[in-house]
Homo-oligomer: A and B are copies of this chain.
Amino acid sequence: MSVSIREIAKMAGVSRGTVDRALNDRPGINPELKARILNIARDVDYRSNKAGRMLGLRKKPLCFGIQMPSQGNDFFIDVRRGISAAMQELADFGLSSKILTMKGFSVEKQLSQIRQLLDEGIHGLIFVPIDHPKITALLDELQEKQIPVITFNNDIEHGCRLSYVGNDYIASGQIAAGLIGLLSAGSPLKTLIMTGSVQVLGHNQRISGFHDVIKSDYPQVDIVDVLECQDDDQVARERISRALEQRPDVQALYITAGGVAGACEAIRVRGCAGKIKVVSFDLTDRTKAFLKEGLITATIEQEPYQQGYRPVKLLFDYFLDGTKPPQRCLTHNRILIREHVMNLDTIGADVPKEQ
């Protein structure tokens, strides 16, 4: 509980309005006076009180725009839970949001949806960027317009945003390799990789992180092939089925992205359930069922709830305080095994579920 604006006004012998102008870089104040006030504020280590600002916010309520490729993608169910929770928590402080979603990754769609949000009037933007020059250009434009941006789930290589909340794809690939290594128990293990698309940076990073660790620490693991399934279950089913036919010696499958259900079904049909070790990512309802069944050995989850919750909170705090979040807020790579999902209780205190 530090000093209030009122006390600084008293010390400087001016009105509270003038102190406010000095502290918040508002126009219309004598530069010398401003400097004097800022000095006093620094001396007494003034920090604006959140409760006061929060109440004041209701006069000019904030609105955030959110854009994401969540349609038809179960991963985003928990993301949306996180967003809703944060919005509910902050609704009392006047925060509202406009959410636009799309199916799949289309640069044009993303651009037009963000334009729409801007037209409708938003103070900040939260979205899952596609790594494309047009999006980078848009980010530059937003910076000009003083609209802060937080990316989540996927980051953008070049382009300025306040922060990124999400997975470190290289690290998650490394952890997958560590798991496969442990599961090998020191014996040779022929491993197949199924990836979503070689065009997607994150998928490739999950392969390169995996590859590096296998090469340096688990030489007994032999990567026999890398298949692509375009995140499509049907394609995954066919490719995996064919691969197992051609290579009956495959003992492990590492899936970097989508197509998990298709791959698992192919394994089951060939009678290999439980014989082939499967490591996947994320935890959809289908993945959960395969874990219970013992078909998937382990899955690595990336805290989707937090990926929705945190960006909203961070952006709000930025408006309230000017608090700058870290450049990257990495979510934890949660290894989940059968016993995690057999027991509903073990969800984690940060992920409230409906009771």
- Are B91 and A306 touching (Cβ within 8 A)? no
Contact A165:B335 (CB < 8 A) given known A50-B93, A92-B50? no
Chain B residue contacts of A340, Cβ below 8 A: 175, 178, 333
Chain A residues with a Cβ closer than 8 Å to the other chain, count: 60
Least CB separation from A174: chain B residue: B339
Select one of B61, B94, B297 contacting A182, CB under 8 A: B297
Contact A168:B346 (CB < 8 A) given known A61-B1, A182-B298? yes
- Are B310 and A349 touching (Cβ within 8 A)? yes
Complex Cα–Cα for A238 and B159 (A): 58
Complex Cα–Cα for A339 and B50 (A): 39
- Are B179 and A337 touching (Cβ within 8 A)? yes
- Are A331 and B348 touching (Cβ within 8 A)? yes
Complex Cα–Cα for A340 and B346 (A): 20
Contact A333:B346 (CB < 8 A) given known A51-B58, A183-B182, A298-B182? yes
- Are A175 and B339 touching (Cβ within 8 A)? yes
Select one of B326, B332, B335 contacting A352, CB under 8 A: B326
- Are B177 and A339 touching (Cβ within 8 A)? yes
Q: A118 at interface (Cβ–Cβ under 8 A)?
A: no
Q: A29 at interface (Cβ–Cβ under 8 A)?
A: no
Q: A303 at interface (Cβ–Cβ under 8 A)?
A: yes
- Are A178 and B338 touching (Cβ within 8 A)? yes
Complex Cα–Cα for A345 and B297 (A): 25
Q: A171 at interface (Cβ–Cβ under 8 A)?
A: yes
- Are B171 and A343 touching (Cβ within 8 A)? yes
- Are A348 and B332 touching (Cβ within 8 A)? yes
Smallest CB separation, A207 vs chain B (Å): 15
The interface bits of chain A over 67-106 (1 if a CB of B lies within 8 angstroms of the residue's CB, else 0) are 0000000000000000000000001111000000000000
Smallest CB separation, A18 vs chain B (Å): 22
A-B contact pairs, 22 of them (CB 8 A): A1-B58, A1-B61, A49-B92, A50-B92, A51-B58, A51-B93, A165-B349, A171-B346, A174-B342, A175-B337, A175-B339, A177-B339, A182-B182, A182-B297, A185-B185, A303-B350, A307-B349, A310-B350, A329-B349, A332-B349, A334-B334, A335-B337
Contacts beyond the supplied A54-B55, A179-B337, A183-B183: 5 A-B pairs with Cβ under 8 Å: A175-B339, A185-B187, A329-B349, A332-B349, A335-B335
